[in-house]
C-alpha cells in the first residue's frame, strides 16, 4: 500500500526535508534525438510536468550533446512552467554526438554549486536529476562502469548536507539500459535510490511517465521527507487520477 510507504506521513520526515526540492532536467540533444524532440508528445508532456511541480520547486535545465550547456540555474517555477518551456524551445537544436559522462558530472557540479549558495541553516535539501536520452554515449567516457563510478565518487566528495536521486528515462530501442538503471539504483552517503523508465520511440507513455516523476518529487517516493499536510489533503485525489491513467502500480515500490 502506498499510504503505508515508510517515507509517507512521518513527522520525522518533515524535519529531514525542510527546503523545496531542486529538480534538474538533463536532456540529451545529440543528433539522434532529433525525431524524439520533434515528436508532438514531447514538449506538451514536459510542459505538463513543469506545471505539476510544487510552486516552490527550484528548477535547473542542462542540455547536452558533445558539450553541456546550463540554460537555467536553480530558477523558480513561474506561470506553471511556461517560462522554463520558453527557454527550452529557444535552445532545442539537436545535433552532434553524446558525451553523457560529462553531462552527468556537470549536473553534479551544478548541484554542489547551488547547495553552496544556500545557508545550511535553511535545512537539508533533496535533489533530483532527471536524465532523458535515447542513445549510448559515443564520445568521452563511454564505459558504463566508469561512468557510474565517476558519478558516485563525485556526488559523495562534493555534496554534503543534501541528497541526490537520479530518475532516468530511456527512449527507443538503443537506450543505454545499464547506465540508466545503474544511475537510478545508485545508493551511498548522498545518493538515494530512484527509478528507471523505458519509453518506445513513439513516446505514447511519456505523459504518464513524467506524471509519475512529478508525483515522486511532490510526495517523496525515494527520499526522506514529505510535506505531510499537503499529502493528507490531496493524496487521495492524486491516487485516483493515477489509477485512472493506469500508472499506480508503477509507483508502488
Question: What DSSP letter does each residue of 172-215 carry, written as one string?
Answer: SSS--HHHHHHHHT--SSSEEEEEEEEE-TT-TTHHHHHHHHHH
Would you say 13 and 7 are in contact if contact means Cβ atoms under 8 Å apart?
yes
CB 23 within 8 A of CB 57: yes
For position 233, what pLDDT does the model report?
A: 40
pLDDT of residue 140: 96
Residue whose C-alpha cell is 510507504: 5
Distance CA 197, CA 184 (A): 10
Which mean pLDDT values do the consecutive 10-residue runs of the chain (253 residues) have?
35 50 95 95 95 88 97 85 91 96 95 74 75 94 95 84 87 90 86 89 94 83 40 42 36 30
The 10 Å CB-count burial string (b at 16+, else e) for 194-210 is bbbbebeeebebbbbbb
CA distance 185 to 231: 25
State residue 230's pLDDT score.
42
Amino acid at each position: 500500500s502506498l499510504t503505508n510507504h515508510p517515507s509517507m506521513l512521518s513527522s520525522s520526515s518533515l524535519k529531514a526535508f525542510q527546503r523545496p526540492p531542486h529538480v534538474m532536467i538533463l536532456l540529451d540533444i545529440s543528433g539522434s534525438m532529433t525525431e524524439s524532440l520533434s515528436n508532438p508528445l514531447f514538449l506538451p508532456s514536459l510542459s505538463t510536468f513543469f506545471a505539476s511541480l510544487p510552486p516552490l520547486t527550484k528548477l535547473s535545465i542542462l542540455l547536452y550533446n558533445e558539450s553541456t550547456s546550463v540554460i537555467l540555474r536553480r530558477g523558480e517555477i513561474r506561470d506553471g512552467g511556461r517560462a522554463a518551456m520558453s527557454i527550452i524551445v529557444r535552445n532545442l537544436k539537436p545535433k552532434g554526438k553524446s558525451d553523457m559522462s560529462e553531462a552527468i558530472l556537470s549536473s553534479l557540479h551544478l548541484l554542489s554549486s547551488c547547495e553552496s549558495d544556500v545557508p545550511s541553516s535553511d535545512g537539508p535539501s533533496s535533489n533530483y536529476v532527471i536524465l532523458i536520452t535515447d542513445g549510448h554515449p559515443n564520445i568521452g567516457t563511454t564505459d558504463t562502469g566508469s561512468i557510474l563510478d565517476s558519478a558516485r565518487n563525485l556526488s559523495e566528495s562534493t555534496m554534503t548536507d543534501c541528497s541526490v536521486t537520479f530518475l532516468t528515462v530511456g527512449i527507443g530501442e538503443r537506450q543505454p539500459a545499464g547506465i540508466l538503471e545503474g544511475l537510478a539504483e545508485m545508493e551511498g552517503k548522498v545518493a538515494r535510490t530512484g527509478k528507471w523508465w523505458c519509453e518506445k520511440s513513439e513516446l505514447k507513455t511519456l505523459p504518464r511517465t513524467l506524471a509519475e516523476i512529478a508525483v515522486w518529487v511532490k510526495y517523496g517516493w525515494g527520499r526522506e521527507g514529505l510535506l505531510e499536510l499537503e499529502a493528507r489533503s490531496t493524496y487521495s485525489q492524486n491516487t485516483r487520477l493515477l489509477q485512472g491513467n493506469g500508472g499506480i502500480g508503477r509507483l508502488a515500490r
